Amino acid sequence: CGGSFGLHLKKSGYDGLIITGKSREPAYIDIDNGSISLKPAQHLWGMNTSEAQENLGAKNRGKLVIGIAGEHLVRYAAVISEERAAGRGGVGAVFGYKLLKGIVASGQNKLEFFDQEKFKKQNLKWIKQLKAHPLTGKQLPKYGTAGLVRMMNSHHLLATKNYTSGQFEAYEELSGEKLAEEKLIKNKGGVTCPIQCGRQVMDYDKAVKGPELETIGLLGSNLLNSDMNSIIRINHLCDEYGIDTITFGSSIGFAMELNERGIWDNGLKFGDTSMLEALVELVSKREGIGAEIAEGTKRLAEKYGGSDYAINVKGLETAAYEPRAAQGMGLGYATSNRGGCHLNGGYLVVLEGLGLNVNGKTTRGKAAFTIMFQDMMEAVSSAGICLFTTYAILPAFLVNKPNSRIAKIINGVLPSMGGIVGVVKRNMWLLSFNMASVLPYPFMIRLVTGKKMTIGSFIEFGERGYNLERIINIRQGLQGSDDTLPKRLLRELQRSDDPDSIVKLDVMLKKYYKIRGWDQNGVPTQKKLRKLKLG
């Protein structure tokens, strides 16, 4: 999530943690040089996340905590490290159920490398590559993720008024350019990261973490809120209480539409920010209307109706990318193992308007490209590498000059290459080589671990992970019919003058299953599982 906890955990002697059982009273886990102990946390219970971290000891320790929202089992409670959030899926509520306030870790274990000298040299090359790329070297450091707002709005990709539109009239007030001009104090990104896309901004008289694109989209355009000051403030409060800003904003947008339709009289109105700050505390403590909004859109719809416009997939609210203008992103949302997650969904929108300009309306080739991107993102994420580094894979000359003749030709041809991508996906041995200048991850992993890895085997690791998640979901009761989107996105035109402005999911889903090696119900076949050494 961008904090330093992972580094401290590694230095303490562990790569990861599996937490089982439930404490009888509030507690926290203390890890020091491999020694693990469970310590009482009654004195921390009821504290916000910054206060809890301050009271968990020395500053040179990695800390992971929940806020009041996690203690009250808010469905989308987050886990916070410093000011960074592991926000999606309600991990904070799981901590709260276990009466686990947090984890601290520290140690002096040295990181081991298979070939440290070569790693250092290759790492310097990679950093140089990241800094030279127009996205990772210029746009993200200068404007942060909010630098995508203008681009998204121009491509009808910016979720607006509970996803009734892809454009917001006051989008400029939410842009990264305006944020940098009026609010930015300094860049503040992940530990040792060369990109430093994070923002530190002013919240009245206090320096706080700036809002990311998803927060700006879901708490801004999605609610018809053009007040950046309110978004900064709400984002900070969500971090303090430990709340996922994506689901929070989406749930409020749905509640606003229910009120607008006369279904649920809750006082919330699009464009009215007067109640938003107070809602953070109400949701976190499950008080008043906050008790219901704390349940998220799926459960709100089960109580009040309106599932057609409760914008979630498999119970998880979608990100700020409006998929009716990006067919591949729509397919990614629908098939994501996490639900409406743009990253686990493959983030194909990066080809459909954010990095390249591949036609977002066409379904051609999108199934194959979505699978390739999902598996690659899975591999990168599993390796503990920031997914934003994948932007640098996009050819810089196409990003720099998106309207050039060569860019238009390539963007036009790419969808027709879906068949080739599908063949490669079924025959990953075709990628049994390394090309660090194109995809540095497998070569870097080899230099750290000594494990031989190629581009093909790296992506195949991601495929194994994706299929493993899939069969776990099936075991827990999910099925192919859950690979869908709310009817608003499937049946309501985003733009009345554009008959293609819906997600044509059925056209893509059958091809997706076939290329994946899943049956017609979306279940991985035994042949596929054996090939991936999962069955």
| Number of C-beta neighbours around residue 62 at 10 A | 24
Q: How many CB atoms lie within 10 A of CB 128?
A: 12
d(C-alpha 230, C-alpha 500), whole Å: 35
C-alpha separations of 520 from 367, 419, 509, 525 in Å: 15, 19, 9, 10
The mean pLDDT of 91-112, rounded to a whole number, is 96
Is there a domain that residue 225 lies in?
yes
Exposure string for 205-230, b = 16+ CB within 10 A, e = fewer: eeebbbbbbbbbbbbbbbbbbbbbeb
Residue 128 within any structural domain of the chain? no
Instruction: Look at residues 302, 317, 332 and tell me which one is the last residue of a structural domain.
Output: 317
Residues 219 and 358 in one domain: no
Whole-angstrom distance, CA of residue 346 vs CA of residue 328: 9
Q: What is the mean pLDDT of residues 172-200?
A: 94
120 inside domain: no
Of 280, 301, 317, the residue that ends a domain is 317
**104-146 pLDDT per residue, tens:** 999 999 989 999 999 999 999 999 999 999 999 999 999 999 9
Residue 100: beta bridge partners? Answer: 27
Confidence (pLDDT) at 1 = 61
383 and 238 in a common domain: no
Q: Is 30 in the same domain as 170?
A: no
For residue 368, which amino acid is it? A
Q: In the predicted model, what is the mean pLDDT of residues 430-451?
A: 92
- Please tell me whether residues 75 and 218 are part of one structural domain: no
Based on the domain organization, do 71 and 40 belong to the same domain?
yes
**Given phi > 0 = left and psi -120 to 50 = alpha, else beta, which region is 364?**
beta
Helix axes 366-382, 455-475, angle to 10 degrees: 90
Domain count, the chain: 3
Residue with tokens 């020395």: 58
Residue 309 included in any domain? yes
Summarised one tens digit per residue, pLDDT across range 68-83 is: 999 999 999 999 999 9
pLDDT at 502: 98
* pLDDT, average across residues 312-319: 98
Average pLDDT for the chain? 95
Whether residue 73 sits in one domain with residue 162: no
Q: Who has greater pLDDT, 59 or 533? A: 533
Residues 193 and 298 in one domain: yes
DSSP secondary structure of 365-394: THHHHHHHHHHHHHHHHHTT--GGGGGGGS
CATH of the domain at 38: 3.60.9.10
Are 331 and 291 contained in the same domain? no
Same domain, 358 and 303: no
* Mean pLDDT value of segment 446-470: 96
Which tokens hold the place of 528?
């596929």
CATH code at position 524: 1.10.599.10
Predicted confidence (pLDDT) per residue in 467-513, tens digit: 999 999 999 999 999 999 999 999 999 999 999 999 999 999 999 99
Alpha-carbon span 41 to 525, nearest angstrom: 47
Residue 278: partners with Cβ closer than 8 Å, 6 or more residues away: none
pLDDT for 10-20, tens place per residue? Answer: 999 999 999 99
Q: Is the pLDDT of residue 177 over 80?
A: yes
pLDDT at position 373: 97
pTM of this structure? 0.96
Closest CA to 158 of 357, 354, 411: 354
Burial class (CB in 10 A: 0-12, 13-18, 19+), 127: middle
* Residue 204's pLDDT band (cuts 50, 70, 90): confident
- 446-468 mean pLDDT: 96
pLDDT above 80 for 2? no
Q: Which domain holds residue 241?
A: 156-317
**In this structure, are 79 and 101 located in the same domain?**
yes
**Percent of the chain scored above 90 by pLDDT?**
92
Task: Report the DSSP pairing between strands 79-81 and 84-86.
Answer: antiparallel
Q: Has residue 196 been placed in a domain? A: yes
**What count of other Cβ atoms lies within 10 Å of the Cβ of residue 452?**
10
Separation of alpha carbons 388 and 367, rounded Å = 22
The answer to whether residues 243 and 188 belong to one domain is yes
**Mean pLDDT of the 208-213 span:** 96
Share of the chain above pLDDT 70, in %: 100
Of 264, 297, 317, the last residue of a domain is 317
pLDDT per residue as tens digits for the range 386-432: 999 999 999 999 998 888 999 999 999 999 999 999 999 889 999 99
Same structural domain for residues 300 and 344? no
Neighbours of 431 (CB within 10 A): 19
Report whether pLDDT(445) > 90: yes
Which CATH number belongs to the domain containing residue 294 in this structure? 1.10.569.10
Length of the chain: 535
* Per-residue model confidence as pLDDT tens digits over 504-522: 999 999 999 999 999 999 9
